[in-house]
Amino acid sequence: MAIDPDYLLNIDLPEVRQPVGPQEYALYALSVGLGQDPMDERQLRYVGGFESVDPFPSIPVVLGHPGFWLSDPKTGVDAVRLVHGEQGMTIHAPCPASGTVVGKTRVTGLVDKGEGRGALLYWEKELRDGDTGTLLATTRSTVFLRGDGGFGGSAGPVKTPHSMPETEPDFTFDGAVRPEQALLYRWQGDDNPLHRTPSVAAKAGFERPILHGLCTFGMASHALLATLCDYDASRFRGIDLRFSAVVFPGETLRTEIWRDGSFRTRVLERDKVVIDNGILDYA
């Protein structure tokens, strides 16, 4: 079944209402690697080490998430072969300490790269406070549909990535991906079996299940929060990045960071850049 561009561009995804509070915030932070040092009180504020739990700044990407909607056969998408290409986020207001949030996702673009070259699907989510209607964050995603090019769609426009500095980075930050991290992160709303089932990963061409792109995103966000924001979430205002390779649970991520907010992340064991063209908007 081929992609129907009119269907995808006009799909009406339902709003997703989600309760939030200390448990949701702590589990998210734990799922992106915080808390591995139980003596670091700067991290403990996000994972429940104290009376209250601060929302980790990258959590809007998973709140109000519509789930793995591209697995619906009506989309015509080869869901086994899709990969997360880019992710961005702008924070407008802090998440409530507890309450309800509402996410509304809409498709904003579809690019046909041609037969055998795949397609790019762009979508955006607005996250609002369920009680006040306040806009909390706008998240932006690009998905590379590896098996779905050549359906006769538009060839553009394509998002331009951030240009990286040519100097050496000012900071580096290392983080270990726990062996079971993808199995934990799945409960953040992304139940794609590519990340948990070996046979599905093999069918997609991977030797074993891969880490969720948004988990890698969260780990890079941790590196940026630690180095450029001194663990102060109010200074973390927006982020954009491009995923350039997969990450496997059990590997080690090193994020290379510049003072202007530019960053990239590599896997140390393979010396492979997995996030590139990153830029953080921070105070």
Query: Which of the residues 59, 210, 275, 279 is marked catalytic?
Result: 210
pLDDT tens digits for 100-114?
999 999 999 999 988
Query: Which of the residues 54, 64, 78, 195 is marked catalytic?
Result: 195
Verify whether residue 190 is a known catalytic residue: yes
**Is the per-residue pLDDT at 154 higher than 90?**
no
Q: What percent of the chain has pLDDT over 90?
A: 79
- What is d(CA 252, CA 270) in angstroms, rounded to the nearest whole number? 9
Three-state SS annotation for the chain = CCCCHHHHHCCCCCCEEEEECHHHHHHHHHHCCCCCCCCCHHHHHHHCCCCCCCCCCCHHHCCCCCCCHHHCHHHCCCCCCEEEEEEEEEECCCCCCCEEEEEEEEEEEEEEEECCCEEEEEEEEEEEECCCCCEEEEEEEEEEECCCCCCCCCCCCCCCCCCCCCCCCCEEEEEECCCCHHHHHHHHCCCCHHHCCHHHHHHCCCCCCCCCHHHHHHHHHHHHHHHHCCCCHHHEEEEEEEECCCCCCCCEEEEEECCCCEEEEEECCCCEEEEEEEEEEEC
> 4 pLDDT band (50/70/90 cuts)?
confident
pLDDT tens digits for 214-244?
999 999 999 999 999 999 999 999 999 999 9
Verify whether residue 130 is a known catalytic residue: no
Verify whether residue 210 is a known catalytic residue: yes
For residue 149, what pLDDT is reported? 84
For residue 141, what pLDDT is reported? 96
Verify whether residue 195 is a known catalytic residue: yes
For residue 179, what pLDDT is reported? 96
Q: Which CATH architecture has domain 5-282?
A: Roll (3.10)
- What is d(CA 249, CA 177) in angstroms, rounded to the nearest whole number? 5
**Is the per-residue pLDDT at 199 higher than 70?**
yes
Domain boundaries, the chain: 5-282
**Is the per-residue pLDDT at 1 higher than 70?**
no
Query: Which of the residues 213, 218, 261, 278 is marked catalytic?
Result: 213
> Is the pTM here over 0.75, yes or no?
yes
